[in-house]
Amino acid sequence: MSAWLAIVNPAAGGGRSAQAVPALQAAMARARLSLAIRISERRGHATELARDAAAAGYCRFLAVGGDGTVNEVANGLLGNGRVAPSALTLGVLPIGTGNDWARTHAIPKRPEDVVALVASGKTVLHDVGVATCRSGDETLRRHFVNMAGVGIDAHILDRLGDGKGGTWSYLAALLGGLRSYRTPTLRVEGPDFRFHGPTLVVFAGPGRYCGGGLEIAPDATVDDGCLRVTVVKQMALWQVLANLPRLFNGTVPQSPHVVAARSPALDIASDVPVGVEVDGEVIGAAPVRFEILPRAIRVVSAR
């Protein structure tokens, strides 16, 4: 099916995603591109809509929302069970609070500019992360296209709740969360990588940014078959404050408190309960295994 399907999270961006639909429809019509619309109604619904639409023959998808909406749609495409995800195309109209995945791909924010990019046909094959961890009494397997985190990152997202906010909300929650966070001792292991010690957070993924534009992995490449691993060791509050500029200038891996690596897979275990998040959503707790699926899905990109 040659039509594009837009899956809209009406709550994203404080309701701005739903308001953007008429402009998106008009821009697609001007570009002579066929567009169908589906509206997600609850958490996880975008995954169901994407999976069902792929099974029905749709091949081109636009996630209208933030990183969480992109994640849900991607999980639907990757788990559709009938069509190879690399034969499907995923784009985004970024209307969320973080838009970190869109930032990696230099996706514009105006509907007409996104449509122009879509019409150009510029796409890349994109690596996909897979997280396997415990969620209650169950083992959960979840795909992610940007970044996963273990440690205080998940703690921050729990503090922020559904109203995650942007960069400054994330940083404020980080500084406030340091007072209530018990730093775990993590064992982080890959095929050629080992770390064991008190750890503030571990980030891993194909993406470059998290927290609304914080540059965690400045050398990330979305199609090299490796997770970018960033281990942030335990730090005092003053050390965290001294290192904050690194989140904006691309020097996080150069900090003496950081261990950076590349790995196709990663196992993380903790001495105390610690949360796991993927693409901005807390999904469970360590122990967790992260793996990469090389060039698993085709995405619209301006890079």
Extents of the domains making up the chain: 4-121, 128-294
Q: What is the pLDDT of residue 168?
A: 79
- Span 287-298, average pLDDT: 97
Fold of 128-294: Tumour Suppressor Smad4 (2.60.200)
What the block records as the tokens of 61 is: 């998808």
H or E element, residue 81: none
Helix (H, G, I), strand (E, B) or coil at 235: coil
Confidence bin at 147 (pLDDT 50/70/90): very high
Nearest to 150 by CA among 165, 126, 170, 133: 133
pLDDT score recorded for residue 173: 82
Question: What pLDDT was estimated at residue 117?
Answer: 98
Q: How confident is the model at residue 269 (pLDDT cuts 50, 70, 90)?
A: very high
Per-residue pLDDT, 208: 96
Output the pLDDT for position 227.
97
% the chain with pLDDT above 90? 82
Lowest-pLDDT choice from 3-7, 81-85, 160-164, 299-303:
160-164
- Among 92, 155, 150, which residue's Cα sits nearest to residue 126? 92
Mean pLDDT, rounded, of the chain: 94
Closest-CA residue to 248 (of 200, 205, 211, 221): 211
Stretch 209-226: mean pLDDT:
94
* DSSP code per residue over 276-298: EEETTEEEEEEEEEEEEEEEEEE
Residues of the chain above pLDDT 70, percent: 98
Identity of the amino acid at 269: A
Residue 28, both tokens:
């697609």
Helix axes 45-56, 67-78, angle to 10 degrees: 40
Beta carbons of 281 and 70 less than 8 angstroms apart: no
- Residue 167 in contact with residue 211, Cβ under 8 Å? yes
Mean pLDDT is lowest, of 54-68, 78-92, 122-136, 249-263, for 78-92
Q: Residue 163 — pLDDT band, cuts 50, 70, 90? A: low
Instruction: Fold for 4-121, please state it.
Output: Rossmann fold (3.40.50)
Q: Quick one: how far is CA 73 from the chain centroid?
A: 12
Query: For the segment 115-140, what is each residue's pLDDT rounded down to a tens digit?
Result: 999 999 999 999 999 999 999 889 99
Burial annotation 36-69 (CB, 10 A radius, 16+ → b, else e): eebbbeeeebbbbbbbebbeeebbbbbbbbbbbb
- What pLDDT score does 1 carry? 62
Where does the pLDDT of residue 294 fall: very low under 50, low under 70, confident under 90, or very high at 90 and above?
Answer: very high
**Which tens digit of pLDDT belongs to each residue from 166-209?**
787 888 888 888 888 889 999 999 999 999 999 999 999 999 99
The number of angstroms, rounded, from the C-alpha of 138 to the middle of its chain's C-alpha atoms is: 22
Per-residue confidence (pLDDT) for residue 162, from 0 to 100:
61
